């Protein structure tokens, strides 16, 4: 009886979530390709890429709240049959994403002095600025892609997004090979070549997803691009205040990892390179949970739109169970095959490779420790976004990552003298604290009927 009750939810979650997981993995694979190929190019360049991508991601996290926030909003509007709300919210999210991206380009253009002030070595800071001065112009494409992904995911149209994202992987590998290393007669551009390749792929993918969203028969009734230039100030304010806390939440979480990157840079360039590899491997598994979190947002948003409490409960339990299984498998992989995984990123003939492999393999032990709590904190965020609860989760994230994670990481690494291991134990502490509080908030609100009361009243 229990299996029969959850089987439809499991099928629906996997049908919706697996393409989202695939899209996140494909997007992550592009970053992995950059990291692997830069690792073949040079250790200083790899360290610069780690820092530059961290800098870019902080701004991306702050701006992505508008695109993520509308996912639950659109799902609930579709469940109510409100076509006007779907169009208004998606359109203003695109406006806000674009305006934000343009506003932060100067920060990336002048990133070198900022990185120096954060204690990075001059050569690493200079190379990172070279990368960011090019990649900064790709932020518009990345944020608008994210918003359109949410728009399509709320309609449960995720397969084409997966294929568009996957198509970018061979393209970025080819462009990296040509531009980083100077093949086929092109100049050898190093980190700047990686940035040019990234921007080219990002705008190609954006154009493809715009074409699909405009063509899709099921979406034509929403007329998303009709009179796109017309502002809707009331809806823009609503999306802004829904999305800003999400962006700040993402910054708080991303800041935990960026802070660990900065502090690892204080320890040494070799340690930073090893940390970047271990963190990217952990990020790959995080993409699996992020896809499930997006599915949770849509499924719970649909339940909220209908005011269906039992459906919301069963959908939430299902996505938690799926993510827990993924976490267990990832933990086993990190603990059993750490050196083999790290070795994929490095040139075996480079003299520093053995030392970096040992450092990164040791860090993967700690990555395995936080797999379950990392999964539960992002699923908790997805559930709460589905019911459009974003402000309290922002506070929870700030406390967990900045008042628990960062101080514990610094204290263990530098005060207690544990070095890189201490930084990673701080990550474990911050993620675990967040997981407990976020899950507690969602299920307590569900038990009180907070998440379905409004729809029942309507």
- Which pLDDT score, from 0 to 100, does residue 240 have? 92
Residue 251 · residue 340 · CB < 8 Å: no
pLDDT surpasses 80 at 199? yes
Q: Share the mean pLDDT of the chain.
A: 88
pLDDT surpasses 50 at 1? no
Q: Percent of the chain scored above 90 by pLDDT?
A: 43
Distance CA 262, CA 251 (A): 15
Residue 356 · residue 271 · CB < 8 Å: no
Distance CA 326, CA 86 (A): 32
pLDDT tens by residue, 104-121: 999 999 999 999 988 888
- Which pLDDT score, from 0 to 100, does residue 2 have? 62
Mean pLDDT of the region 339-354: 79
pLDDT tens by residue, 382-425: 999 989 898 999 999 999 999 999 999 999 999 998 988 899 99
pLDDT tens by residue, 305-327: 888 888 899 999 999 999 999 99
pLDDT tens by residue, 158-171: 888 889 988 888 99
Q: Percent of the chain scored above 70 by pLDDT?
A: 98
Distance CA 320, CA 313 (A): 11
Distance CA 367, CA 191 (A): 27
Mean pLDDT of the region 365-379: 90
Residue 169 · residue 33 · CB < 8 Å: yes
Q: Write a three-state SS string for the chain.
A: CHHHHHHHHHHHHHHHHHHHHHHHHHHHHHHHHHHHHHHHHCHHHHHHHHHHHHHHHHHHHHHCHHHHHHHHHHHHHHHHCCHHHHHHHHHHHHHHHHHHHHHHHHHHHCHHHHHHHCCCCHHHHHHHHHHHHHHHHHHHHHHHHHHHHHHHHHCCCCHHHHHHHHHHHHHHHHHHHHHCCCCCCCCCCCHHHHHHHHHHHHHHHHHHHHHHHHHCHHHHHHCCCCCCCCCCHHHHHHHHHHHHHHHHHHHHHHHHHHHHHHHHHHHCHHHHHHHHHHHHHHHHHHHHHHHHHHHHHHHHHHHHHHCCHHHHHHHHHHHHHHHHHHHHHHHHHHHHCHHHHHHCCCCCCCCCHHHHHHHHHHHHHHHHHCHHHHHHHHHHHHHHHHCCCCHHHHHHHHHHHHHHHHHHHHHHHHHCCCCHHHHHHHHHHHHHHHHHHHHHHHHHHHHHCCCCHHHHHC
Q: How many CB atoms lie within 10 A of CB 284?
A: 16
pLDDT bracket for residue 3 (50, 70, 90): low
- Which pLDDT score, from 0 to 100, does residue 396 have? 95
């Amino acid at each position: 009886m229990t299996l029969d009750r959850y089987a439809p939810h499991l099928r629906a979650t996997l049908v919706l979530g697996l393409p989202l997981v695939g899209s996140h993995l494909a997007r992550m694979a592009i970053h992995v390709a950059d990291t692997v190929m830069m690792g073949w190019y040079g250790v200083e360049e790899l360290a610069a890429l780690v820092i530059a991508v961290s800098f870019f991601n902080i701004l991306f996290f702050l701006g992505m709240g508008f695109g993520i926030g509308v996912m639950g909003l659109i799902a609930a509007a579709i469940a109510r049959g409100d076509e006007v709300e779907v169009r208004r919210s998606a359109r203003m999210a695109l406006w806000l994403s674009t305006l934000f991206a343009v506003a932060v380009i100067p920060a990336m253009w002048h990133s070198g002095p900022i990185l120096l002030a954060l204690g990075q070595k001059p050569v690493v800071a200079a190379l990172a600025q070279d990368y960011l001065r090019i990649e900064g112009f790709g932020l518009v494409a990345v944020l608008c892609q994210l918003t359109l992904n949410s728009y399509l995911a709320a309609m449960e149209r995720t397969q084409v997004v997966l294929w568009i994202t996957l198509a970018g992987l061979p393209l970025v590998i080819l462009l990296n090979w040509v531009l980083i290393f100077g093949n086929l007669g092109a100049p050898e551009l190093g980190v700047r070549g990686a940035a040019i390749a990234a921007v080219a792929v990002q705008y190609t993918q954006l154009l493809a997803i715009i074409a699909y969203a405009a063509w899709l028969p099921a979406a034509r009734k929403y007329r998303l691009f009709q009179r796109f230039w017309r502002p809707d100030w009331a809806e823009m304010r609503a999306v802004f205040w829904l999305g800003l806390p999400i962006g700040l939440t993402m910054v708080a979480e991303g800041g935990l990892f960026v802070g660990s990157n900065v502090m690892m840079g204080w320890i040494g360039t070799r340690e930073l390179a090893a940390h970047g590899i271990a963190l990217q491997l952990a990020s790959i598994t995080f993409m699996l949970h992020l896809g499930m979190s997006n599915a949770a947002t849509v499924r719970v948003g649909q339940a909220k739109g209908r005011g269906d409490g039992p459906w919301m409960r069963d959908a939430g339990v299902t996505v938690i169970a799926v993510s827990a299984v993924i976490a267990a498998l990832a933990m086993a992989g990190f603990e059993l095959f750490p050196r083999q995984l790290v070795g994929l990123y490095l040139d075996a003939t480079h003299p520093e490779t053995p030392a970096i492999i040992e450092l990164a393999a040791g860090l993967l032990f700690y990555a395995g420790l936080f797999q379950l709590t990392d999964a539960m904190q992002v699923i908790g965020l997805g559930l709460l976004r589905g019911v459009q609860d974003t402000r309290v989760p922002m506070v929870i994230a700030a406390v967990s990552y900045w008042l628990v994670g960062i101080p514990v990481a610094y204290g263990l690494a530098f005060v207690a003298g544990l070095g890189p291991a201490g930084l990673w134990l701080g990550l474990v502490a911050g993620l675990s604290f967040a997981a407990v509080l976020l899950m507690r908030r969602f299920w307590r609100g569900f038990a009180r009927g907070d998440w379905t009361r409004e729809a029942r009243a309507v």
